[in-house]
């Protein structure tokens, strides 16, 4: 839903839309999108700083959302493990 709000007209992204078809077609735009997702969740340390390199303009918005969620979740797992040591 967040990517739809950030990328779509009126929060609506056509099914099957790729990042490139929505104007996210290179590194600066991928990094900006990654930063916007991390900022939306309240703090920039939520996700790893190196998250944007796993994004590809040819990805669908759904695939990008799943990839971002996985990266953010794995970062949280890493932080919980470090605290448990």
First-to-last alpha carbon distance for the chain, in angstroms, is: 35
d(CA 44, CA 48): 9
d(CA 4, CA 73): 20
d(CA 12, CA 24): 16
Token readout for 38 is 């991390």
- Asked whether residue 11 carries a pLDDT value surpassing 90, the answer given is no
pLDDT digits over 18-74, tens only?
A: 999 999 999 899 999 988 888 887 555 555 566 678 899 999 999 999 998 888 777
pLDDT at 74: 78
What rounded mean pLDDT belongs to the chain? 81
Label residue 83 by pLDDT band (50, 70, 90): low
Please give the helix or strand (H or E) that residue 17 lies within, else none: none
């Amino acid at each position: 839903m967040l990517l739809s709000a950030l990328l779509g007209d009126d929060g609506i992204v056509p099914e099957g839309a790729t990042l490139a078809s929505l104007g996210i077609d290179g590194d600066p735009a991928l990094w900006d999108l990654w930063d916007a997702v991390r900022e939306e969740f309240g703090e920039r340390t939520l996700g790893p700083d190196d998250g944007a390199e796993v994004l590809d303009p040819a990805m669908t918005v759904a695939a990008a959302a799943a990839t971002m969620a996985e990266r953010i979740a794995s970062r949280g797992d890493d932080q919980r493990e470090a605290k448990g040591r």
